[in-house]
Structure 1
Amino acid sequence: MLVALFTLYHSPPLQIVESTSSFVILEPNIATDLRYISTAEINWNHMSHIVKSYLPSRSEYQGTGFLNVNNMEIDQWKEVMKFGYEHIDLHLDHAADNITWDSLYPEWIDEAEKFQVPICPSLPWVQVPGKPRIDLVVTKLPCNVSGTWSRDVVRLHLQLAVARVASSSKGLHDVHVILVTGFFPIPNLFTGQELVTRQGNTWLYKPNLSQLRQKLQLPIGSCELFVPLQAKGYVCGATAAAQSIRMSGSTHDLVILVDDSITEHHRNGLESAGWKIHMFQRIRNPKVKPNTYNEWNYSKFCLWQLSEYDKIIFVDADMLILRNIYFLFEFPEISAMGNDGTLFNSGLMVVEPSNVTFKLLMDHMDEVVSYNGGDQGYLKEIFTWWHHIPKHMNFLKHFWAGDKPKINRLKTKLFGFDPPVLYVVHYLGYNKPWLCLRDYDCNWNVEGYHQFASDEAHKTWWRVHDAMPESLQRFCLLRSEQKAKLDWDRRQTDKGKYIDGHWKIKIEDNRLETCFETFCNWEIMLLNWGETNTTGNSSIAASSPSLKTAAKTSL
């Protein structure tokens, strides 16, 4: 009796973690770090069915690796599966406590390497005893139910470790991965196209090992650049974007998503500009009020339905491509420029279409909270593991309030360089170039928009516009209402004597003389306008324009 008490006392204490449905017993050698504890229960009926139905015959299997799976569960596996192959208990040192998601995805890095070379913290690599052949890797992922599970360093660490084991295969045999998790795995590490089946919380993947090896060459977060800096009413905006892409030397397909609200006349114009039209059904954001600006921006999820393409470089219509970015096709999903904090800017991103990923995006709309209520915030919650490309590949036309004059002067020069230094210019702000008079950036007319104003970037856009055929330039004509709005804004800056002085510039934009609408006398609109007036932004009417000339007035 004394011996029994002595043995029990010196046995390592069991750790008991409460789950939503029961208590799960975990062995201490697995659970020395509470962050790695997984309360996910293995459904052995599901597991047995998956292994016996979807994996090759047992004669082809030589080894299964287990990571973050306790000894009792490994013994249970042996009992249920009754396979004679080798069982390898993989070891993974835990990540340091000071490695947080913010350290992997910092708000800012020194891209120019002016003060330091940005380097990510390192996560321990998985240790495989000996050199066994591993055909199947099984792991359990922790599920932080507090809402931060998608930005959990430990979940990322375990999934990267599993990917390393799978990709280390030297032969030509396939390797499968089983992840046991109540929340979906990283969708751009183990992709929807690689998902063989899912039953409950058990996910079986057959990863493309070549692509997986490429992904593992990436930095683990946006704390480093993915590549060195030196390495390799939007109809009008879309036509100019297409023109800029062709001018950059790209010969890849140009595909544009349009819905039924785009008239046949405008679709013909887009096709003439080089776009391949892809009709789609709009997707409503279920968490916003009707008629708000972001009501339909979940329609961007339809990108993942373009499954006839292996990879897509998505660009917003308010961008110009100044240099060929074809090399981005070598980058994985999601590659994008950093935005705020740990987030990325979805205006330009590399996407790998997959109907499975599309379904994932659709299935979680009710539960995932977007920080900004739009598609960008939603995608950032789904694709928390992403890859940082240099800002020159999505250079924002935006001057931050805290920027020093020297930085602003450098930005201004970058916008105007010919031949260009920047790869892509992203025209942020309410007033896009085609909604302004070509004489200067009309963001100068509104005090709150000065942060988006750049005459050099404005001139660059108009150089691309002027290279378009005249038939396409007609899609960039101004509506009468927009002409009145521009004149109204100039009058206010004249009254306020804005120090930038743009209100003094003589206007020579010939579009003021051209009208394609029934009503052309836009000056009359000014008689009843007040400071709270707002107008629509579409730059061309729904029907094919019948051009008329009108006299240029006070503008």
Structure 2
Amino acid sequence: MVSFLYSPDVDQLSHSGSRQNFVNRWIWGGLDPRYVSDLDVNWDDVMKVIEKLGERNDYQGVGLLNFNNSEISYWKHLMPDATHVALQLDYADKNMTWDSLYPEWIDEEQEKEVPVCPSLPKPETLRKRLDLIAVKLPCRNEVNWSRDVARLHLQLAAASLAASAKGLYPIHLLFITERFPIPNLFTCKELVVRDGNVWLYKPDVNVLRDKLQLPVGSCELSLPLQDRERVYSGNPQREAYATILHSAHVYVCGAIAAAQSIRLSGSTRDLVILVDETISVYHRSGLEKAGWKIRTIQRIRNPKAEKDAYNEWNYSKFRLWQLTDYDKIIFIDADLLILRNIDFLFGMPEISATGNNATLFNSGVMVIEPSNCTFQSFDGTY
């Protein structure tokens, strides 16, 4: 649950020494070190980013999450005409770990139990209008900085608050963090501007609502086994099945069979296959007759793979994100067969896939959303 204080009340509390310490711990997260961020805010960068919002007078409400008392006062100085709401989020259970959200195994067949994710405290819908939600994220572990329960929790809370908006006015999310926010929740296509450690997003609140309906981690099935019949009505012209062939032609027959299985399932979506120069004209002709639209790519080597290993060129899958004439792609490995219609997966967000060894996933079948900026991020430019 999120409770809130209006900034004038916060100022009044600052006149009392003991009360000051209490409020700082309360807003700042000092009672739980997992939520503490020791990052110094560069207010010049914040000012540059806020200027991208246009007329600051149009911003009636500013929600502030995980900022201390002095930082809230500075926000008031930057946007004096707005009502500032200092948000407090109840902490996640101290026994909750990343492994509990992303276990190595769950009972997918539900033979003994129905797997359920542990719950994170959710914010309540505020009646106050918020045009901008600013969040300061912790980032303590440089190695596993992205696998942090508190960091995840704060971002989910911000997304929930943004999604509660009725869509009558635009809403922006501003993160202060050394590392980028969760790209599956806040996509690079929605990034308005980044300056230093300040990231400003303008999310699609309807898409956010859909994403927040999904389980928090791999601790629960997004699509329960008994829920087999799903109806999805998207934009078929902007959706496609895709696969990839590189380095060898041995999977050409498999790709032809895969195309036939998709058509036999009743799907009419485009079929796109990425091939490199090792796939001959003869084999390309057979793929085209099977229904695949040929796209020629330059393969990408996996720098961690050994020479001539099976996964030496599997980074070529990154090229899928360059299929920007489509909004959604269901990727399948070329040696798979589709036994029933799975068009409903186009309604799932990026990245939807089967879990594989805790935080990893199996890329043999996955839903992606093509984007050039996402592709560039794989090279560290995002």
The structure 1 residue matched to 2:322, chosen from 294, 297, 305, is 305
Contact 1:179/1:204, CA 8 A, preserved across alignment: yes
Q: Percent identity?
A: 58
In the alignment, which of 85, 91, 94 is matched to residue 91 of structure 2?
Answer: 94
Q: Which residue of 60, 63, 70 corresponds with 2:61?
A: 63
Q: Match of 2:368?
A: 351
The TM-score normalised by the length of structure 1 is: 0.59
CA–CA distance in structure 2, aligned partners of residues 169 and 56 of structure 1: 20
Are residues 12 and 134 of structure 1, via their aligned partners in 2, closer, same or farther at CA, if it must alter by over 3 Å? Answer: closer
Give the AA of the match of 2:200. Answer: L
1:114 to 92, 106, 111: 111
Match of 2:233 in 1: none
**Aligned match of 1:188:** 184
The answer on 1:33 being equivalent to 2:32 is yes
Counterparts of 1:95 and 1:290, CA distance in 2: 45
Residue 68 of structure 1 and its aligned partner are, at CA, apart by: 0.8
1:331 equivalent in structure 2: 348
Match of 1:200 among 184, 188, 196: 196
Distance between the aligned counterparts of 1:353 and 1:127, measured in 2? Answer: 33
2:7 alignment partner in structure 1: none
In 2, Cα distance between equivalents of 1:230 and 1:51: 48
2:262 to 242, 245, 253: 245
- The secondary structure found in structure 1 opposite 2:334 is coil
> What do residues 152-192 of structure 1 show as CA deviations (whole Å, max 9, x unaligned)?
11111111000001010024211111111111111110011
Alignment of 1:460-539 (within 5 A): none
CA contact (8 A) 1:67 1:91 kept: yes
Question: Within 5 A, what are the aligned runs for 1:226-237?
Answer: 226-231=222-227, 232=229, 233-237=250-254
Structure 2 Cα separation of the partners of residues 159 and 196 of structure 1: 17
Q: Distance in 1 between the 2:226 and 2:165 partners? A: 33
Secondary structure at the aligned position of 2:378 is classed as helix
How many residue pairs were aligned? 344
Equivalents in 2 of 1:208, 1:11: separation in Å? 39
- d(CA) in 2 for partners of 1:350 and 1:198? 27
1:482 equivalent in structure 2 = none
Q: Does 1:43 align with 2:47?
A: no
Q: 1:224 to 1:288 in 2, by over 3 A?
A: closer
SS in 2 for 1:184: coil
CA drift of 1:102 comes to 1.2
RMSD: 2.0
1:49 is matched by which residue type in structure 2? K
Deviations 1:92-143 (A, max 9, x none): 0110111111111122222333322211111011256x51000111001111
Deviation at residue 62 of structure 1 after TM alignment? 1.1
Of Structure 1 and Structure 2, which has the larger fraction of its residues in helix?
Answer: 1
> In 1, Cα distance between the equivalents of 2:79 and 2:131?
16
Secondary structure, in 3 states, of the residue corresponding to 1:255? strand
Deviation at 1:13, TM superposition (A): 6.1
Question: What pairs with 1:73-472 in structure 2 (closer than 5 Å)?
Answer: 73-79=71-77, 81-127=78-124, 131-231=127-227, 232=229, 233-363=250-380
Q: For residue 246 of structure 2, what is the aligned residue in structure 1?
A: none
- How far the C-alpha of 1:338 sits from its partner, in A, is 1.8
Q: Distance in 1 between matches of 2:379 and 2:180?
A: 13
More relative contact order in 1 or in 2 (CA 8 Å, sep 6+)? 2
Structure 1: tracts of 5 or more residues without a match? 1-6, 15-25, 366-555
Q: Deviations over 1:249-301 (max 9, x none)?
A: 11001111111221222111111111111122211223334433322211111
SS in 2 for 1:278: strand
**Alpha-carbon offset, residue 59 of structure 1:** 3.5
Name the SS of the counterpart of 2:174 in structure 1.
Answer: strand
Evaluate the alpha carbon distance shift between residue 343 and residue 271 of structure 1 in structure 2; reply closer, same or farther with a 3 A threshold. same
SS in 1 for 2:157: helix
Contact 2:56–2:79 (CA under 8 A) maintained in structure 1: no
Q: Secondary structure at the match of 1:215?
A: helix
**Residue aligned with 1:298, SS:** helix
Q: In 2, are the aligned partners of 1:90 and 1:126 still within 8 Å (CA)?
A: no
Distance 1:159 1:215 in 2: 13
Q: Whole-Å Cα distance in 2 between the matches of residues 337 and 275 of structure 1? A: 25
The answer on whether the counterparts of 1:91 and 1:127 sit within 8 Å (CA) in structure 2 is no
Contact 2:331 2:366 in 1 (8 A): yes
